[in-house]
Amino acid sequence: MTAVVVTVKDGKANTRDLELPAERPVEALAPWIAKAIEHSDLPAEGEAVKYILKFENSIEPIPPENSLRAAGVVHGDVLQLLIKVIPKELSGSDAGRRFAGPGLVSTDGKVFPFRAKNALVGRVDTASGVAKSVLGVDLTSLDSEGSPSVSRRHAQVLLRKGSYLLHDLKSTNGTRINGKELGPDSRAELRHGDRVQFGDVGLIFVWDGQEVKKGSH
C-alpha cells in the first residue's frame, strides 16, 4: 500500500511525523492519528466527537470519506488534526455528524449553512419587503406562525478577519449566545458549539474547521 510521510499537529503543543497509508479514508485514519500524536483533546470514553483533518492554515477540512491521496496530500505536507465535541443536542442526528459548517443547525436537524460573508437572520414577511431571497438564515419554518418571536430582520452574521460575528439588529425578543443576551446593535464572535437563540428559536453554531483560540469560551 502506498504511504505518505507527513507532519501532523494538534494545534497546541503536540507534533509528530507519521507515515500514513495514502489510500485509507480520513475517517478511518483520524482516531488512530489522534492517539499516535497524543492529541491534547482526546475524547473521554463514550464522548461523541468528530475528527477534523485539514492542511495547516486552511479553514477547509478534508472530507472524511476522502483518502489522503484523493485530498492531494504528498510527502512533507503539514496537516492539523482537530477534535470537535458534537453538541449533545445534535449527537443523535445525521446533521450533527455530517454538517461541517460554517452555519447553524436546529435540534431536529435542519441546516442553515452560511453561503456569503454577510447573512441576514430573520423571517419572511413579504408585506414588509423581507423576501426569502433576502435572508441568509430563514427561520420562518421554526418560529411560531401565529405569534412569531423572530423579528423580520433579527440579526446579521458577519465574516470578519476569519471569524463569524453575530450582530443583533435591535430585535424585539433579543438574541442570546449560551444564555447570555447580546445587547441591541452589539456583536459577539461565534465559536463552534455555541447555543444561539433568536427569540424562542434555538440553534447551534457548527464550524468544524474553526481553530480554538486562547481564551475562547
Q: Which CATH architecture has domain 94-206?
A: Sandwich (2.60)
Q: Quick one: cell of 173?
A: 425578543
- Domain 3-85 classification at class level: alpha beta
Q: What is the largest CA-CA distance in the chain?
A: 63
Closest CA relative to residue 206, chosen from 119, 88, 87: 87
* 196 and 105 Cβ atoms separated by less than 8 Å: no
Average pLDDT over residues 161-165: 94
Same fold, 3-85 and 94-206: no
**Who has greater pLDDT, 215 or 37?**
37
Give pLDDT tens digits for 114-145: 999 999 999 998 877 788 898 999 999 999 88
Quick one: which H or E segment has residue 12? Answer: none
Instruction: Give percent of the chain above pLDDT 90.
Output: 69
Average pLDDT over residues 9-14: 84
Query: Domain ranges in the chain?
Result: 3-85, 94-206
Phi-psi domain of 196 (left: phi exceeds 0; alpha: psi -120 through 50; beta: other): beta
Q: Quick one: cell of 87?
A: 453538541
Query: How many residues are there in the chain?
Result: 217
